[in-house]
């Protein structure tokens, strides 16, 4: 809507007449007190180019009107020029603190008033246009980011499907890892030092699906062997961490470097152990990225409670006991604490996903 009106709030009729004559090109809306000014503002704010506000008025004075306007979101785009004929201590500072654009003192000098008001209108018009442009660009960026998120999710699903075809153990396992990771991260979200926003949790959970991406490069004779691996075969299997990182470097994650970083860290470090006895880099303690620590413990849990070609699934209670007893490697006290707190949720998640045909 075109801003073609000026609101003059002044209890002196002569002042309103003068303003109306000066700005004959605009429709002049008149208020005789502060309350009436706010009523007109509420009704006509979309077409107001400026408000000329007297400081001393009955019912509500100018400063009280400004206080009320601070609570109105639509009032932020309308410049207010204070009109006063009194030399009141602190009136200028009080008015400027409330966001006015300018102060005009009575008696009026028509040419000066006209130029100052028009300059203010043009300044705010330019400011509002810039803010609208920024908002438009921000919305486009949000839409772009949403599209990228969908594309990245589709890409991860596709890459995970490739692993499923190579490794008969990886079908629902990959989807369980995503949801189990999300459950752990949601509990860790209560610790602000980790900065786990909902968006970050979604990205880490998606990246967790690629934890075994490097198994694509492992020979079938090793990857699909039904029995226990020999020491030499196990050394080949262990290379899937670094193989996954090498493959990730050749995959485009569009512009989402954060998702790429999470995927890379999880691929490389999800077999590291807190005591330094993991692989491939033998990282110790908090040298292991948090996201890899989370995927590490849920990967072990899921392996225990799932059927594999070389074993039957353990019951949930036995799997938890094995992890707590250190039979499956060493995990940080934090990971163990979170794991214990959410164990029932982990069990329910596995049961729910296993029930999906």
pLDDT digits (tens, 9 = 90+) for 229-288: 899 999 999 999 999 898 888 776 556 788 889 999 999 999 999 999 999 999 999 999
Locate tokens 């991860």: which residue? 156
pLDDT digits (tens, 9 = 90+) for 170-212: 457 888 999 999 999 999 999 999 999 999 999 999 999 889 8
Ordered per-residue pLDDT tens for the chain, 357 residues: 678 899 999 998 998 999 999 998 899 999 999 999 999 999 999 999 999 999 889 889 999 999 999 899 888 889 999 988 766 666 788 888 888 988 888 887 888 889 988 988 888 888 877 777 777 775 665 555 565 555 566 667 666 666 665 565 545 788 899 999 999 999 999 999 999 999 999 999 999 988 988 888 888 788 878 778 899 999 999 999 999 898 888 776 556 788 889 999 999 999 999 999 999 999 999 999 999 999 999 999 999 998 876 678 899 999 999 999 999 999 999 999 999 999 999 999 999 988 876
Q: Which CATH number fits domain 5-108: 3.40.50.2300, 3.30.420.40, 3.40.30.10, 3.40.50.720?
A: 3.40.50.2300
Q: Residue 165: what pLDDT? A: 59
Residue 239, pLDDT score: 94
Q: Where in the chain is the domain with CATH 1.10.3210.10?
A: 143-354
What pLDDT, on a 0 to 100 scale, did the predictor assign at position 9?
Answer: 93
* Backbone φ and ψ of 311, nearest 5°: -165, 165
Class of domain 143-354: mainly alpha
Its pTM stands at: 0.59
Write down the pLDDT at residue 184: 97
Q: Are 41 and 75 in contact (CB under 8 A)?
A: yes
Range(s) for CATH 3.40.50.2300 in the chain? 5-108
């Amino acid at each position: 809507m075109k801003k073609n009106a000026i609101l003059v709030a002044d209890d002196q009729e002569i002042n309103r007449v003068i303003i109306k004559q000066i700005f004959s090109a605009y429709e002049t809306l008149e208020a005789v007190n502060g309350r009436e000014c706010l009523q007109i503002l509420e009704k006509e704010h979309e077409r107001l180019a400026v408000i000329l506000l007297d400081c001393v008025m009955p019912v509500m004075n100018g400063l009280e009107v400004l206080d009320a306007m601070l609570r109105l979101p639509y009032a932020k785009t309308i410049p207010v020029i204070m009109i006063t004929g009194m030399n009141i201590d602190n009136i200028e500072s009080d008015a400027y603190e409330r966001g006015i654009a300018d102060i005009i003192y009575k008696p009026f000098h028509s040419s000066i008033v006209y130029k100052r008001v028009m300059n203010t209108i043009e300044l705010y018009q330019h400011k509002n246009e810039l803010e609208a442009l920024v908002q438009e660009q921000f919305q486009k960026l949000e839409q772009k980011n949403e599209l990228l998120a969908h594309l990245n999710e589709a890409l991860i699903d596709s890459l995970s499907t490739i692993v499923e075809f190579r490794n008969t153990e990886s079908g629902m396992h990959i989807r369980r890892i995503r949801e189990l990771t999300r459950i752990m991260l949601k509990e860790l979200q209560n610790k602000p030092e980790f900065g786990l926003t909902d968006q970050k949790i979604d990205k880490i959970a998606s990246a967790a699906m690629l934890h075994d991406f490097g198994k694509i490069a492992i020979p079938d004779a090793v990857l699909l062997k039904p029995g226990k691996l020999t020491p030499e075969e196990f050394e080949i299997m262990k290379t899937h961490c670094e193989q996954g990182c090498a493959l990730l470097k050749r995959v485009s994650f569009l512009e989402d470097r954060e998702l790429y970083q999470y995927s890379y860290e999880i691929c490389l470090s999800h077999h590291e152990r807190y005591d330094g006895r993991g692989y491939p880099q033998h990282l110790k303690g908090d040298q292991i990225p948090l996201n890899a620590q989370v995927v590490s413990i849920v990967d072990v849990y899921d392996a225990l409670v799932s059927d594999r070609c070389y074993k039957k699934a353990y019951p949930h209670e036995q799997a938890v006991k094995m992890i707590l007893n250190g039979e499956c490697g060493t995990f940080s006290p934090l990971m163990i604490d979170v794991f214990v707190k959410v164990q029932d949720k982990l069990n329910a998640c596995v049961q729910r996903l296993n029930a999906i045909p």
